[in-house]
Amino acid sequence: MVKQQSLQKAGSFRHQHRIIRADGVVRWVNHAFESLPDQAGKVVRIRGVIQDITDYKQAQLTVKQKQQLLEATMDSSPDMIQVFEALRNESGEIVDFIWIVNNHASQKIYGDVIGKSLLQLNPGVKQEGIFDAFRQVVETGIPDVSERHYVHEQFKGWFQQSVVKLNDGVVTTTTDITGRKTAGQQLLRAKEELARRATKKYLELLESIEQGFCTISVKYRPAAK
């Protein structure tokens, strides 16, 4: 098809396809043609090269497979996994972060936010110190793990977030721990209520005793030899 096009009109043409050599080995090749016209515009000459690009194609396939594996691994996680790139001003200071990767769990909550501003969509991150944590991780390279009660935008609950540096940005993993926090708080309140009731019963018991009581400590003197 490419050869037919190159015969019909002047110009440059490229085409990649597989071939099977005489020894049965499959290779990828790239055809590059250039059609040369005469003064009337009719193609009178074709020149070109054929290049073996098998190694390039195999490397390209390997990269694609690794990317698919990474995406599948990220999408299988129930946690929100996100990658942000730092946005800097003319002085080199970090003034915002831009979304560049969102796993499936994040997409269900945020939708399509790739290429958008973190501060514009989630301004609460500045108030809660999350933006400063991102910036510090980028500047120091030291990971950060924290728990926060976040009640801004579409969120209302407790979240644990780990932040690690990636190039000039961060990778974050965010887990909703609201259920765990709520259960812990309920357990604490139950213990406090149980202690309060036990103390009340103990005081009521003491007040019901009409006779007094005391504690006697008995000491024995060693027998004389």
Average pLDDT, whole number, for the chain?
81
| Backbone φ, ψ for residue 123 (5° rounding) | -60, -20
pLDDT at site 180? 80
pLDDT (tens digit per residue) in 163-181: 999 999 999 999 998 888 7
The band of 48, judged by pLDDT with boundaries at 50, 70 and 90, is confident
| Domain CATH for 105 | 3.30.450.20
Name the more confident of 110 and 202.
110
Residue 153 lies in a domain: yes
Over residues 34-41, mean pLDDT: 76
Over residues 78-103, mean pLDDT: 93
Q: Domain check: are 49 and 83 in the same one?
A: no
Maximum C-alpha span of the chain: 141
Residue 133 lies in a domain: yes
Q: By residue range, what is the domain housing residue 47?
A: 2-56
Residue 168 lies in a domain: yes
DSSP reduced 3-state for 153: coil
Q: Domain check: are 170 and 86 in the same one?
A: yes
pLDDT at site 4? 53
pLDDT at site 204? 61
> Which of residues 179, 200, 220 is at a domain's end?
179
Q: Domain check: are 21 and 111 in the same one?
A: no
The band of 40, judged by pLDDT with boundaries at 50, 70 and 90, is confident
User: What's the residue count for the chain?
Assistant: 225
**Is 0.75 topped by the overall pTM?**
no
Q: Domain check: are 89 and 159 in the same one?
A: yes
The band of 201, judged by pLDDT with boundaries at 50, 70 and 90, is low
The band of 10, judged by pLDDT with boundaries at 50, 70 and 90, is low
pLDDT (tens digit per residue) in 112-150: 899 999 999 999 999 999 999 999 999 999 999 999 899
Question: What torsion, rounded to 10 degrees, do the Cα atoms 69, 71, 74, 78 define?
Answer: -120
DSSP reduced 3-state for 8: helix
Q: Which residues contact 17 (CB under 8 A, 6 or more apart)?
A: 28, 29, 31
Number of domains in the chain: 2
Residue 68 lies in a domain: no
Over residues 90-107, mean pLDDT: 93
| Domain CATH for 18 | 2.10.70.100
The band of 31, judged by pLDDT with boundaries at 50, 70 and 90, is confident
pLDDT at site 74? 75
pLDDT at site 13? 77
